[in-house]
Amino acid sequence: MNFAIVTDNLGRVYKIRGGKKTEPRELVALQDVQLQVKQGELFGLLGPNGAGKTTLIKILTTLLAPTMGQATVAGYDVVRQAEKVRPRINMVSGGESSGYGLLTVRENLWMFAQFYGIPSAVANWRIRELLKIVGMSDRINTKSSDLSTGLRQKMNIVRGFLTDPEVLFLDEPTLGLDVGASRDVRLFIREWVNQDPRRTLLLTTHYMVEADELCDRVAIINQGRVLACDTPESLKNRLQKEVLFRMQVSPLDSTQADTFESLPGVRKVTHRAFDGYAVLELILEQDDALGSVVNLMTTQNIHILNLQKREPTLEDVFVDLVGRSMEEVEKSGYSEGNQ
């Protein structure tokens, strides 16, 4: 078996310089990462803001040195053999503003192709082909500063595919795109990997659906650690024994929601407040635990507006692993950062 990416005990600690009032400190962004991505795989890294996804991509693309462990990409060590890794990879980040606004789409793409030694004629031919596929043929001579966000991102993605890398890294490729553009991008990504078994693609995302529908395998990452790594199916199958309910109820506070969690047979309860109602996601060990939840609600005067049994999603897998939903993790992350 050929592995396109192997990491061994990989970790990164950032030193944060102190300011006038703050002490210098260390931040562990990545820890004990043990991954093996097979050649030909479309691999997803799923995690909330600050989980360490970009840090991992930077290490794998030779832009950042790990402080622990090691990693190989396309068979070469990312630190000691960076010059062997670089011709074989490419990377695109969501929302990046690379290139020069005064150059046209074709000129920008041509420029980046030159840095990989691709002959001009081949580069221009490839640019035309790829722009046709993403439906941007009519924009080939548009100045890149005149492109909309969606078209810009498509241009960036074309830049990644242009050098036909062995391993392509996409950091949040659909960030900020509307539904249609996201779908186009996903279809194109899938198509590209399917076309040639030697191609490998690693993408990061914090959209559950994207990881679920697009990726062959997914690693769930939180606070710098990989918590689980498997096919979306197998990840969800872990919850096959459990029963999942979504309940729309009259407003309640989160301490109330926590009391449900202590009931026998209830694994996890997450709570989202909306205007005039709340949504509870319940993970139960068996169906009949629902009865005690409903009973407790009646005594607390909480009204059930809607109840729905559903299939597990990656969101539930995340909640099961971390204890909170990705949304909650991101919210608490922000408040910590503000202190």
Partner 1 sequence: MNQSRTSTDLQTVLRQEVEKSAGWRLFIQTVIARAYPRIIGQQREKSWMFFDIFLPIMAVSAYVFVYRAIQAPEDYVGFVIMGGAMTAFWMNVLWSMSSQLYWEKETGNLALYIMAPNSMMAILLGMALGGIVATTLRAGVIVVLGSLLFRVSYAVVSFPQLLAVFILAMVALYGMGMMFASVYLLLSREAWHISNLAQEPVYLLSGFYFPIKNFNFWVALGASVIPLTLGLDAMRQLAFKTGASLGFLSVNMELGILLGLSILFLLAARFLLRYMEKLAIREGRLTESRR
Ligand X SMILES: Nc1ncnc2c1ncn2[C@@H]1O[C@H](COP(=O)(O)OP(=O)(O)OP(=O)(O)O)[C@@H](O)[C@H]1O
* Span near ligand X by CB under 6 A; candidates 43-51, 83-91, 106-114, 245-253: 43-51
> Backbone phi, then psi, for 23, in 5-degree steps?
-75, 145
Binding of ligand X at residue 53 (CB under 6 A)?
Answer: yes
* Span near ligand X by CB under 6 A; candidates 47-55, 130-138, 176-184, 284-292: 47-55
CA dist 185 and 149 (Å) reads 13
Convert 235-275 into a string of H (helix), E (strand) and C (coil).
HHHCCCCCEEEEEEECCCCHHHHHHHHCCCCEEEEEEEEEC
Question: How many CB atoms sit inside 10 A of residue 192's CB?
Answer: 19
Instruction: State whether the Cα torsion 159-153-79-46 is positive or negative.
Output: negative
Binding of partner 1 at residue 149 (CB under 8 A)?
Answer: no
Query: Under rule CB under 8 A, how many of the chain's residues touch partner 1?
Result: 41
**Contacted entry of Mg ion, partner 1, ligand X, none for residue 111, CB cut-off 5 to 8 Å set by kind:** partner 1
Q: Which residue among 54, 70, 142, 223 contacts Mg ion (CB under 5 A)?
A: 54
Retrieve residue 200's tokens. 């490998």
Site string for partner 1, 164-203 (x = CB under 8 A): x------------------------------xx-x-----
| β-strands 42-46, 200-205 pairing | parallel
Binding of Mg ion at residue 223 (CB under 5 A)?
Answer: no
Binding of partner 1 at residue 89 (CB under 8 A)?
Answer: yes
Binding of ligand X at residue 16 (CB under 6 A)?
Answer: yes
Q: For tokens 């068996």, name the residue.
A: 286
Q: Which residue among 9, 18, 25, 63 contacts partner 1 (CB under 8 A)?
A: 63
Binding site residues, ligand X, CB under 6 A: 14, 16, 27, 29, 47, 49-55, 206
Residues lying near Mg ion in the complex (CB under 5 A) are found at 54
